[in-house]
Amino acid sequence: MDHFAPQESCAALRDEVRSVTSAWRSQGRYSPRSDAWLRAFDLEFSKELAARGLIGMTWPAEFGGGERSNVERLAVTEELLRAGAPVAAHWIGDRQIGPAILRHGSRELQEEILPQIVSVDAIFCLGMSEPEAGSDLAAVRTTATPADGGWRLNGHKIWTSHAHRATHAYVLARTERTERKHHGLTEFVVDMGAAGVMVSPIVDLAGEHHFNEVRFEDVFIPAHRVIGEIGAGWRQVVEQLSFERGGAERVLSSYPVFAQMVAHAAQQSDSELRVVVGSLVSRLAVLRQLCWEVARALDSGQAPVQQAAALKYLGNAFERDVIEALRRTELGREPTMSSSFGQALLASPGFGLRGGSAEVLLSLIAKQETRA
């Protein structure tokens, strides 16, 4: 597999994505929005990307993948985020669960699930956060106990995006009680249609529904649906989160409204605003370079835990500052849910929570630094 994507290949991929998103916008099939990777769900759009080989791009051909590099995949994800395209149907499976199964899953699990993610027949939600656990992912109370032919799952997850649309859930569960809370955790793939899975909506302040609560009552999980080693889920999930934290969505979630602000500043004589916007543009260039370094690390077989945590920490600060800068402009004076600023403002409280709080990220960075 060639891990060194030529510039021509990346440029061709960017052109292809721009052509698709432009055609869909001109046909009125979607409107660009902030936080599209989490909030804009359109199965038909994801299916079109799948037909073009733009999902599972880095995976082996035997599982339906394109055997491209993570650098090429980054070129595609950057263009989709810049266009505010409706990518939520495939984003979690393509970004995070597929790579985790490829890295740690059994051959049976890989053959079963990976081709379904590539074709968008499998839609994943994340069963990580739990009530009263805050941002402490290791405070898992959901349990999985051995059963004939597999496991029985019992517990309660919350803030589970698109669980009401998902066909499968990634679930982190406790399979052993130990004195150390990071031990005894195991990762599973669960059918959302299985008996005992219950989904309740959480509607946000704007009336949108993508969050859910999910309860598992004695849900059977076949033995082969374990991802990796039983009881070693914490080490694996930290690696997996580097896929979640190290992507371009950590710096480009608000890009549609950021682009509007750049265009607005260019037409104004407000020199102070131009200085602020210029500083943000410079920071974005540095953050994009970090994204490329994470992609290159993945291409060389590494799990860039520290780089991904640093990218998310700095990316969160950047996106918050974009919101604050917008408040200085006409774009931010009357936020409504139909405006790009209103959508970005609504999403902004989540920037510092999903994928780990600032304290968790700084702890990861410090631990990795002391090991170096």
The count of other CB atoms within 10 Å of the CB of residue 61 is 10
326-343: per-residue pLDDT in tens? 988 888 777 777 787 888
Residues 285 and 366 in one domain: yes
Is 3 inside any structural domain? no
3-state helix, strand, coil in the chain (%, to 5): 50, 15, 35
Handedness of CA 316, 318, 320, 323 (dihedral sign): negative
How many Cα atoms sit within 13 Å of 276 on the Cβ side? 19
Residues 48 and 161 in one domain: no
For 118-141, the DSSP string reads: HTT-S-EEEE---TT-TT-TT---
Is the per-residue pLDDT at 1 higher than 50? no
The count of other CB atoms within 10 Å of the CB of residue 44 is 12
Lowest mean pLDDT among 89-93, 258-262, 307-311: 307-311
Residues 304 and 262 in one domain: yes
Residues 159 and 63 in one domain: no
Residues 259 and 365 in one domain: yes
Mean pLDDT, residues 74-93 taken together: 96
Q: What is the pLDDT of residue 3?
A: 52
CA distance 330 to 29: 28
Q: What is the pLDDT of residue 18?
A: 98
* Inter-CA distances, 44 with 9, 25, 31, 120, 215, Å: 25, 14, 15, 10, 29
Of the listed 239, 244, 249, 319, which one is catalytic? 244
Which of 104, 119, 134 corresponds to the end of one domain? Answer: 119
Mean pLDDT, residues 197-223 taken together: 92
Is the per-residue pLDDT at 353 higher than 70? no
Is residue 329 within 8 A of residue 273, CB to CB? The reply is yes
Is 42 inside any structural domain? yes
Is 322 inside any structural domain? yes
Could you tell me what percent of the chain has a pLDDT over 90? Answer: 62
Could you tell me what percent of the chain has a pLDDT over 70? Answer: 94
Q: What is the pLDDT of residue 132?
A: 75
Residues 50 and 131 in one domain: no
Residues 22 and 114 in one domain: yes
Is the per-residue pLDDT at 352 higher than 70? no
CA distance 291 to 307: 9
Residues 51 and 157 in one domain: no
Is 341 inside any structural domain? yes
25-53: per-residue pLDDT in tens? 999 999 998 889 988 999 999 999 999 99
Q: What is the pLDDT of residue 248?
A: 84
CA distance 158 to 131: 6
Which of 69, 104, 119 corresponds to the end of one domain? Answer: 119
Q: For 98, phi and psi rounded to 5 degrees? A: -55, -50
Q: For 84, phi and psi rounded to 5 degrees? A: 60, 40
When divided into structural domains, the chain yields a total of: 3
Is 59 inside any structural domain? yes
Residues 190 and 97 in one domain: no
Is 237 inside any structural domain? no
87-145: per-residue pLDDT in tens? 999 999 999 999 999 999 999 999 999 999 999 999 999 998 898 776 566 778 999 99
Give 229's pLDDT tier (boundaries 50, 70, 90): very high
Is 17 inside any structural domain? yes
Give catalytic status of residue 272 as yes or no. no
| CATH number (domain holding residue 297) | 1.20.140.10
Residue 251 is part of which domain span?
A: 246-370
Which of 172, 205, 232 corresponds to the end of one domain? Answer: 232
Residues 260 and 151 in one domain: no
| CATH number (domain holding residue 99) | 1.10.540.10
Is 240 inside any structural domain? no
Handedness of CA 44, 46, 50, 51 (dihedral sign): positive
Is the per-residue pLDDT at 78 higher than 60? yes
Residue with tokens 């060639």: 2
Residues 145 and 109 in one domain: no
| CATH number (domain holding residue 173) | 2.40.110.10
15-27: per-residue pLDDT in tens? 999 999 999 999 9
The token pair that represents 185 in the structure block: 């955790």
pTM to 2 decimal places? 0.89
Rounded mean pLDDT of the chain?
Answer: 89
For 298-353, the DSSP string reads: HHTT---HHHHHHHHHHHHHHHHHHHHHHTTSGGGTS--TTSHHHHHHHHHHHHTT
Residues 33 and 86 in one domain: yes
- Angle at Cα 63 formed by Cα 61 and Cα 68, nearest 5°? 40
